[in-house]
Amino acid sequence: MTERRLLLVPPSLDGERADAALSKMLGMSRSASAELLLAGAVLSGTELVTKSQRVTSEQVLEVSIPDKRDPLAVEPTDVADLRIVYEDADLIVVDKPAGVAAHPSVGWTGPTVVGALMAKGVRISTSGAAERQGIVQRLDVGTSGLMMVAKTEVAYSRLKQAFRDRAVHKVYHAVIQGHPDPVEGTIDAPIGRHPKAEFKFAVMNDGKPSITHYKLLEAFASASLVEVVLETGRTHQIRVHFSAFKHPLLGDTMYGADPTLASRMQSERQWLHAMRLSFLHPMTGEQVSFESNYTEDLAQTLERLKGN
In DSSP terms, which residues pair with 219 in a beta bridge?
224
What is the C-alpha to C-alpha distance for residues 289 and 273, in angstroms, rounded to an integer?
Answer: 16
What is the C-alpha to C-alpha distance for residues 51 and 37, in angstroms, rounded to an integer?
Answer: 6
- From start to end of 206-252, where are the E strands? 211-219, 223-230
What is the C-alpha to C-alpha distance for residues 283 and 220, in angstroms, rounded to an integer?
Answer: 44
Q: 276, 170 in Cβ contact below 8 A? A: yes
Q: What residues are annotated to the active site?
A: 140
What is the C-alpha to C-alpha distance for residues 272 and 106, in angstroms, rounded to an integer?
Answer: 24
Residues in the chain, total = 308
Amino acid at 129: A
